Structure 1
Amino acid sequence: MMDGSSSLARDRRPDGDAAQRVGNAPTLSTAMERTSNWLLSQQATEGYWCAELEGDSILQSEYLLLLAWAGREQSDVAQRLSKKLLEQQREDGTWAQYPEAKIDISSSVKAYFALKLTGHKASADYMIKARDAILQAGGADAVNSFTRLYLALLGQIPMEICPAIPPEMILLPSWFPLNIYRMSSWSRTIFIPLAICWALRPVVDRSEECSIKELFIKQPHQWPELRCPGQEKAKGLFTWDRFFRTADRCLKKIEKLRLRPLRSRALKLCEKWILDRMPKSDGLGAIFPPILWSIVAFKALGYDDDHQAVRYCWDEIDKLMLHDEEAGTTRIQPCKSPVWDTTITLRALAAARHGADEPRMRKAIDWMLSKEVRDQGDWTNNVRCEPGGWYFEFNNEFYPDLDDTAMALMALQEQLAECGVSLEVHPGQSWENTTIVTTSNKVSADDAVSQAVLLDKVSGATKRALAWSAEMQNHDGGWGAFDKNNDAEFLCKVPFADHNAMIDPSWPDLSARVIEAYGLLGVNQNSRGKLGDVVRKAITYIRDNQYEDGSWFGRWGVNYVYGTWQCLVGLTAVGIPTDDEAVQRGAQWLIDTQQQSGAWGETCDSYENPNLKGIGTPTPSQTAWALLGLMAAGHEDSDAVRRGISYLLSTQKEDGTWDEEPYTGTGFPQVFYLRYHYYRIYFPLLALATWAKKSSETKEGSR
């Protein structure tokens, strides 16, 4: 069992605000119909759903710093972005990772610098406020490694103050303990273009006309060492922390002496590595930071502005922009989430009785099937099997992930089940003798051919995804998001690793989602063969990572409410009975953290301070997660679930949506958080529809 901090007493949790309850609560069926209709109205012509994915101010700041580096800081888009930055500044003059957070020093320094570069005077009241707050919080001296790199790129500090990022690392073989494939996929895609920039130093010195030395407390060479949030300096004669800091100093001395015989070869391989991963992708890694740094890397390599690769990167960032014409602002998304949004929307609509026999649902399923990964990606460095699974964005063929793959498997299964078709896996001792059996209640001859084609496509994609996901299981029984056994914790001591995301190890929430998908396909703890072994190992991993208070950590959603929901659903989906001790302790933790309003809420601060687990402003998404967890644990007729359902009904707006301001998505704990704009829509619908099917109260027609 993992140690865990107990939650604070009930009277310290935020109460529900009665003022947010609008009008009379609708009936359950009316609420479900409203939300279903709203979601159907948002479907794209091509069949998918994709809502805004909202990050924090660093997206605007970092792009403005890039524009300034490229000499475009007076462009129209730069002015629109700077106006958005001012909107995001808080009353105390700071910028933060999410609305209720404390000051984020790196975000605030980048925002201040970006505003200054785009013409905002240091004497303006809002700039003075920002400057005072930054200095009080430790000044630019306290920024993270990425912010140092931006400051160096624009001549504010020497490049030597930044961590060494040697391109020669790409030459290290995959069997070597330290190589690029031991890093998480997202760190890897940032590391390679940064390595080119670190080697070639494409600095555009803006220190004369636009210095931010007023934010420095000490000279840059006296700035503190970089390390992950919450990590203290390790003690002892030999530590990985000391080893990597010594290596960092040695690399910088070697750089000064120009002792780099392999530099040219390494740079060519880095360049090729990026170019090879651009086809079938919304930019390198399909996420904002590596796309941005790819522009700098290509320019450093001598590419002109009209080069196809450079234009491609600028275009992909343009696609991430959202323009508010009324406000005259522009904001940037870290990436787009169409596969994720579509799979969960399809699950919610299936629960609300919209199945694959409906033309709109069929169109969405066809779109989903078109996004199945069929090419090999970075994951092949540790895994040898046929490609399968799904990614998160519109195009990201090199990086399928276990989360989207599990959600896609469940969406396909539940959509088919809603129209009388089922897929069931019959595990064999090997993949060659594992079969998928389909049964159908359909009798219409008109649909027979179309249905046969659909079932053939879904069966093939399902079998490939099952094989791929099973091969991706880590040695501890869990799963990471993108890679197998990506758990070299010593890499978290590298100075560059202070973004708290250097590795991609197993997490209980993600692992439970994978086995939930298996369970829906008929694979459980008693199944024979390879899949049965996979499930049993995962169950052991999930049990071992439950906290003493009954909760589980949530890596990809905020936080213990998210993790506990998913683990309860995953365990029971593969045959763990609801009276199992782990299941009931998890359910009891959810009951104990329910607020007086009937809702649940948890702040992102719980990642830094576990004493805040289960505590925060109530949200519809977190309330839905808790309800789904409790219903999986057999509490569908409990008072806690009825109160939670009442909360969702009473706070639903007339158009079928809910309001939700807090961020409930996690990018990197203590570093970057997300607000998925559909979380407040499809998760409540899924919870309401699940209760409609499970509760004896609804079955008896009392609603």
Structure 2
Amino acid sequence: MTTAIERTSNWLLSQQADEGYWCAELEGDSILQSEFLLLLAWARREKSDIAQRVSKQLLAQQRADGTWAQYPEGKLDISSCVKAYFALKLTGHEPTADYMVKARDAILEAGGADAVNSFTRLYLALLGQIPLEICPAIPPEMILLPNWFPLNIYRMSSWSRTIFIPLAICWALRPVVDRSEECSIQELFINQPENWPELRCPGQEKATGLFTWDGFFRTADKGLKTLEAYRLRPLRKRALKACEQWILARMPKSDGLGAIFPPILWSIVAFKALGYDDNDPAVLSCWSEIDKLMLHDDENQTTRIQPCKSPVWDTTITLRAMAAAGHGSDAPRMRKSIDWILSKEVRDKGDWTNNVRCAPGGWFFEFNNEFYPDLDDTAMALMALQEQLGEAGVALEVHPGQSWENTTIVTTSNKVAAEDAVGQAMLLDKVTSATKRALAWSAEMQNHDGGWGAFDKNNDAEFLCKVPFADHNAMIDPSWPDLSARVIESFGQLGVHHQSRGKLGDVVRKAVDYIRDNQYEDGSWYGRWGVNYIYGTWQCLVGLAAVGISLDDPMIQKGAEWLIGCQQQSGAWGETCDSYENPNLKGIGTPTPSQTAWAILGLIAAGQEDSEAVRKGVRYLLQTQKEDGTWDEEPYTGTGFPRVFYLRYHYYRIYFPLLALATWAKKSNSTEGSR
């Protein structure tokens, strides 16, 4: 066991950047390559070297049956296939090639281009393949609506908001570059675009009818398009200026708008539509941010695109795993990483202030994204800092008061290196201040139902999921049990429990009630940000235990029983992304190191560290570990948007198994599996 932990710890240390952070590849699906190629074609750069490298990567992602999917074992995704086919054709791939014929046949069999989603329609319209009129209306005037109005932009999730604003500019100004004469994909159409089916969010197909939100928004869509046709848009100039300024205001201190690929891409189109020159600093900045998301494989002459980068997330989880393995803040390399994390604390106000009156605090996901701190990274950062200090013999303890003014954080210490007493004191002061700000911010971000969303408070207007362009299944950012449990886990590590008095105690009790109310009858919880019920159940068990919920509580017992029940014969756990669409597949799938680690951690939290299930899981991780301390993992276990977009975090297979093994080694007196 000791050798296994050392191997992985040493491997992670070898991957640490000079600045102190860790950041692995964040892998999405083929649409990242396709959409970039479509942007290049719109900019008439599809013959460039980078276009050829990206198209080669896109072709490498095609499966033997000619299709593309959202994740390796997933079913055909029609939007991915149409965009990939179009992108390949634009970059010079002959439609008579076998792989193109296979793709075309599969697309037609699956419903043709007629069945693509709203974003794909927008790309097709941008390049002159279909009329823009069959795309959903995206009126820029919406930015002018006040916050109290039910349809203002801050009722949308932050990621939808950052995409909506540049798209609204494009919808209004229509910067179409018609490539239909040079490159048409009419061969993928079954019906004329005017007869394509209506767009709906996955799972909302039945919520139809005249006197429904679906009916209301479809009527509104037609009305907006009628006004557009008659040029009845008196506020258009003002709205476009507001949209332009909104984007520009969010680019400083950020890796592009929202620090994610889609809004950065559409910002380029929006700026160009507004008349910006190719050499304008705003346009060049967007291209530069996309360039930073590229990973070049010179051996194969390919380039792939990441949806964003994950340094804060990767670094905080690595720090937690390293702390569990015995590497604390008294080690110079851990200290450097802590300093880097502290440098990424959010100190400016962002979009979240539209619903919250609170001083800034917390952390974001990427290198820079000051406008959009999130609860997940904030909770992980709080725990990483606390655990790192703990390994150095120092801990922070929160004493909740009835208000933030009388909530205090005290330091407990049993050792401080004499030779670095001043440095330790300065570090402790920085961590204490950041912790207090993050706790206050996190508590104020709690939703009315007791849970937390990722970026905004009370962002739960479900009627917005009925708008025609909501078919990316990410229109709102409501509470989720996995995220809510992680927040209270961070509180629990600081000494705030469900019986604590004061404001923070009230926050925790409300969250526990929310998590209890959202447990399924079989004992599992839904996982919004990781695949899926294994992720959710692990996190809920850990969070509940951290705030002192009795391990005899039926809620914890049922959760542990569910995890044990879906353990595979090998001792591993695995779950497919398909479980989001088909709950009958919950807890079922190809075994993975990351999901096995989650299950082990959940069972340890439930008091099952000496159970045969945990021992079998530990043996599986030990037996499948490679000589360099890593594990292999092909399935995607990260969730971007359920049923729409999934992720492979390339470090999930490393730091989560390390965290599980090191946690078990500390909890158990057993030496079984020693290597």
TM > 0.5 fold call: yes
Aligned to 2:368: 395
Q: Secondary structure at the match of 1:666?
A: strand
Match for residue 598 of structure 1?
A: 571
Give 1:663's match in structure 2, choosing from 617, 625, 636.
Answer: 636
Q: Is 1:487 matched up with 2:441?
A: no
Name the counterpart of 2:448: 475
* Within-5 A mapping of 1:95-174: 95-174=68-147
For residue 180 of structure 1, what is the aligned residue in structure 2?
Answer: 153
Q: Alignment partner of 1:304: what SS?
A: coil
Q: Does 1:379 align with 2:352?
A: yes
**Corresponding residue number in structure 2 for 1:511:** 484
Counterparts of 1:468 and 1:665 in 2: how far apart (Å)?
26
Aligned residue in 1 for 2:237: 264
Given that 2:619 and 2:673 are in contact with CA atoms closer than 8 Å, whether structure 1 keeps it comes out as: no
Query: What displacement does 1:702 show?
Result: 7.8
* Residue matched to 1:678: 651
- Alignment partners' CA distance in 2, 1:322 and 1:190: 23
Question: SS of 2:639's equivalent?
Answer: strand
Q: Aligned-pair distance for 1:697?
A: 1.8
| % identical aligned pairs | 86
Separation in 2 of the partners of 1:106 and 1:443? 58
Tell me how far 1:290 sits from its aligned partner: 0.0
Distance in 1 separating the partners of 2:324 and 2:281: 45
Distance 2:632 2:99 in 1: 29
The code of the aligned residue for 1:100 comes to E
The answer for the alignment partner of 1:568 in structure 2 is 541
Query: Matches of 1:271 and 1:316 in 2, distance apart?
Result: 18
Partners of 1:349 and 1:119 lie apart in 2 by 48
Provide the residue aligned with 1:286 in structure 2: 259
Contact kept, 8 Å, 2:2 with 2:674, in 1: the verdict is no
Give the alignment of 1:82-97 within 5 angstroms. 82-97=55-70
By how many angstroms is 1:123 displaced? 0.7
Query: Offset at 1:439?
Result: 1.8
Q: Give 3-state SS (helix, strand or coil) of 1:688's partner.
A: helix
Contact kept, 8 Å, 2:166 with 2:270, in 1: the verdict is yes
Q: CA distance change for structure 1 residues 216 and 237 in 2, over 3 Å: closer, same or farther?
A: closer
* Equivalences for residues 632-643 of structure 1 within 5 A: 632-643=605-616
Give, in whole Å, the separation in 2 of the partners of 1:84 and 1:392: 26
Query: In the alignment, does 2:5 pair up with 1:37?
Result: no
CA contact (8 A) 2:393 2:416 kept: no
Task: State yes or no: 1:252 paired with 2:225.
Answer: yes
State whether residues 478 and 507 of structure 1, in contact with CA within 8 Å, keep that contact through their aligned partners in structure 2. Answer: yes
1:73, 1:155 → 2: CA distance? 16
Counterpart Cα distance in 2 of 1:169 and 1:259: 15
The 3 A distance-change label for structure 1 pair 487 and 443 is: closer
State the one-letter code of the partner of 1:548.
Answer: E
SS in 1 for 2:670: helix
2-structure distance, mates of 1:261, 1:235: 32
CA distance in 1, matches of 2:228, 2:206: 26
Distance 2:247 2:204 in 1: 32
Q: Tell me if the contact between 2:208 and 2:214 (Cα under 8 Å) persists in the aligned partners.
A: no
Please give the alpha-carbon distance, in whole angstroms, between the structure 2 residues aligned to 1:230 and 1:61. Answer: 26
Measured in 2, the distance between the counterparts of 1:694 and 1:85 equals 46
CA deviation after TM superposition for structure 1 residue 701, in Å: 11
Q: Secondary structure at the match of 1:297?
A: helix
Q: Which residue of 2 aligns with 1:619?
A: 592
Counterpart AA for 1:121? E
Q: Which runs of structure 2 are paired with 1:437-476 in the superposition (5 Å)?
A: 437-476=410-449
Q: Which residue of 2 aligns with 1:326?
A: 299
The aligned amino acid for 2:29 is D
Q: What one-letter code is carried by the residue in structure 2 that aligns with 1:115?
A: L
Amino acid in the other structure paired with 1:38: W
Shift of 1:695: 1.2
- Shift in Å, 1:194: 0.1
Pick from 51, 56, 60: which aligns with 1:78?
51
Q: Which amino acid aligns with 1:503?
A: I
Number of aligned residues: 675
State how far apart, in whole Å, the 2-side matches of 1:604 and 1:38 are. Answer: 29
Counterpart code for 1:113: F
Q: Deviations over 1:255-287 (max 9, x none)?
A: 000000000000000000000000000000000
SS at match of 2:424: helix
Indicate if the aligned counterparts of 1:233 and 1:241 stay in contact, CA closer than 8 A. no
| Aligned-partner SS, 1:428 | coil
Tell me the alpha carbon deviations over residues 267-314 of structure 1, each in whole angstroms, 9 at most, x when there is no partner: 000000000000000000000000000000000000010000000000
2:285 aligns with: 312
Task: Say whether residues 1:418 and 2:391 are aligned partners.
Answer: yes
1:648 aligns with 2:621: yes
Deviations 1:588-609 (Å, cap 9, x if unpaired)? 0000000000000000000000
Query: 5+ unaligned residues in a row in structure 2: which ranges?
Result: none
Provide the C-alpha distance between the structure 1 equivalents of 2:53 and 2:360, rounded to a whole number of angstroms.
42
Paired letter, 1:188? R
Is the Cα contact below 8 Å between 1:344 and 1:411 reproduced in 2?
A: yes
For the residues of structure 2 that align with 1:445 and 1:630, how far apart are their CA atoms?
Answer: 39
Q: Detail structure 1 runs of 4+ shifted over 4 Å in the superposition.
A: 700-703
Q: Is 1:238 the equivalent of 2:211?
A: yes
Give ranges in structure 1 of 5+ residues lacking alignment.
1-27
- 1-structure distance, mates of 2:246, 2:42: 24
Deviates more, 1:227-236 or 1:526-535: 227-236
Mapped to 2, the partners of 1:443 and 1:681 lie a distance apart of 31
From the superposition, tell whether residues 198 and 236 of structure 1 become closer, same or farther in structure 2 (CA, over 3 Å): closer
Q: In structure 1, what residue type is equivalent to 2:10?
A: N
Q: Which of 631, 639, 649 lines up with 2:604 in the alignment?
A: 631
Is residue 340 of structure 2 the alignment partner of residue 367 of structure 1?
Answer: yes
In 2 relative to 1, CA 165–236 (structure 1 residues): closer, same or farther, beyond 3 Å?
closer
Q: Give the CA deviation at 1:230.
A: 2.5
CA offsets 1:543-568 (integer angstroms, 9 cap, x no match): 00000000000000000000000000
Secondary structure in 2 matching 1:673:
strand
Offset of 1:234 from its aligned partner? 2.5
User: Secondary structure at 1:697's aligned position in 2?
Assistant: coil
Closer, same or farther in 2 for the Cα pair 1:126/1:443, shift >3 Å? Answer: closer
| Higher normalized contact order (CA 8 Å, seq sep 6+, divided by chain length) | 1
Conserved? CA contact 2:416–2:424, under 8 Å:
no
Q: Is 1:349 aligned to residue 322 of structure 2?
A: yes
Structure 2 equivalent of residue 228 of structure 1: 201
> Would you say the 8 A contact 1:637–1:696 is kept in 2?
no
Identify the residue that residue 25 of structure 1 maps to in structure 2. none
Instruction: Tell me the residue number matched to 1:406.
Output: 379
**1:232 Cα offset (Å):** 1.6
Which of 552, 562, 582 aligns to 1:579? It is: 552
Match of residue 504 from structure 2 = 531
Shift of 1:444: 3.6
Q: Distance in 1 between matches of 2:206 and 2:126?
A: 28
Task: Name the CA distance, whole Å, in 2 between partners of 1:262 and 1:235.
Answer: 31
**Aligned residue type for 1:494:** V
Q: Greater shift after overlay, 649-658 or 442-451?
A: 442-451
Partners of 1:437 and 1:375 lie apart in 2 by 26
Separation (CA, whole Å) in 2 of partners of 1:150 and 1:221? 16
CA distance in 2, matches of 1:447, 1:533: 39
Aligned amino acid, residue 573 of structure 2: W
Aligned with residue 550 of structure 1, among 520, 523, 527: 523
Partner Cα distance (1:203, 1:287) in 2: 23
8 Å contact from structure 1 (residues 421, 439) kept in 2: yes
